[in-house]
Structure 1
Amino acid sequence: MKTAFSIRVYKQYFNFASSHFMLFKDGTREPLHGHNYRVQVRGNAPELDDDMVFDFLNIKPIVRKICDSLDHKLLIPKNHPKIIIEDKEKNYNIITPDESVFSIPKTDVLLMPIENTSAERIAAYLAQEIKSAVFAEYKFEFNELEIEVEETPGQSAVYTLLKE
């Protein structure tokens, strides 16, 4: 029989308030708006190490730090093929397919290595960041790492990263 143990972590401080806009297939853009995102993490392993999947005390600061890096930022998907991002000394000029131009101070923007700023893509980004940070600090890798990103109460996206 195949078995797995899991931990699930969701703290009140696993959150970030960010703004974004989605770009749709037809080139339209939704209005710039924000969410108070909340994050939940579930990680599993086939066996326990010292009777734990992974120490809660070690995962919490990692998730918090990553959430904090997104807090109070305009999230821009730098991998979207139809967004133009111009680097202008202290600002980014962001030009969307509908020819809208946003000029935003660099300190207020997070250029994310994702294709769009959907909750699904943000969850995938968080999973990669958490996986990398856990491995860098503890040389540990979950068999499965599930990230849930809630953008409004009762509305969330889940991404599951499987060990290669």
Structure 2
Amino acid sequence: MSSGHSGTFRVLLQKEQLVFSSAHFITFAGDICECLHGHNYGLRGEVQGKLDENRYVIDFIAFRDTLAKIVKRLDHHMLLPTRHSMISVQEDGDEVVVRFRAKRWVFPAEDCILLPIVNTTAEEIAEWIGRELLSELYSKIGDRLDWLEIGVDENNGQWGYCRLPWSRVS
């Protein structure tokens, strides 16, 4: 039942429910730490690959629901990087203590998401979301896709993107 098409195809997903509100701060210029603040983030995901036996690249519902589950984990949380050389993030019982030079913050642990990234930039958040998506979907879809791209909008038009090869996450 071939349609005669042998090209590659892309699917882009950007939905109203793929938004989250989170607080963060980033460092820049080597040793400057901005003030704690928040964003209403938007998210979009795109994949490229061949059509499957159903004649689609990916099931829209599985794609949407998996991204929505990841977004829900981030919503209304403080996003903290755990791999920054100058930011110390320590879990201490019910609290998370964060230090950058003379700055010190204490957050309820239940309000924090500790991300294995260097800086909570839109680009690194996009990469983390992409890896989480791969971890959730790869076993269901297999290796027929070429790549996955996640875009994170942190301020109504300021997007950070990460494109990952579609492969098993280790």
TM over 0.5: yes
Moved over 4 A (4+): none
Aligned-partner residue type, residue 43 of structure 2? V
Q: 1:77-88 alignment to 2 at 5 Å?
A: 77-88=81-92
Question: In the aligned structure 2, how far is the partner of 1:49 from the partner of 1:113?
Answer: 37
CA offsets, 1:29-75, max 9 Å, x none?
Answer: 00100000000010111343310101112111100000000001110
% of aligned pairs identical? 29
**Is 1:100 matched with 2:103?**
yes
Give the aligned partner of residue 12 of structure 1. Answer: 16
Unaligned runs of 5+ in 2: 1-5
Please name the residue that 2:61 is paired with: 57
Question: Is the deviation greater in 41-50 or in 69-78?
Answer: 41-50
For residues 47 and 72 of structure 1, what CA distance do their matches in structure 2 show?
37
2:142 corresponds in structure 1 to 140
- Alignment of 1:161 with 2:132, yes or no, is no
SS at 2:27 equivalent: coil
Does the CA-based 8 Å contact 1:5-1:48 persist in structure 2?
Answer: no
What is the letter of the counterpart of residue 147 of structure 1?
Answer: I
Return the letter of the residue paired with 1:77.
Answer: P
> Which stretches in structure 1 are left out of the alignment for 5+ residues?
none
Does residue 121 (structure 1) correspond to residue 124 (structure 2)? The answer is yes
C-alpha contact (below 8 Å) 1:75/1:111 kept by paired residues: yes
Task: Report the TM-score, using the length of structure 2 for normalisation.
Answer: 0.89
State the SS of the aligned residue for 1:132.
Answer: helix
The residue aligned with 1:75 is: 79
CA distance in 1, matches of 2:55, 2:34: 48
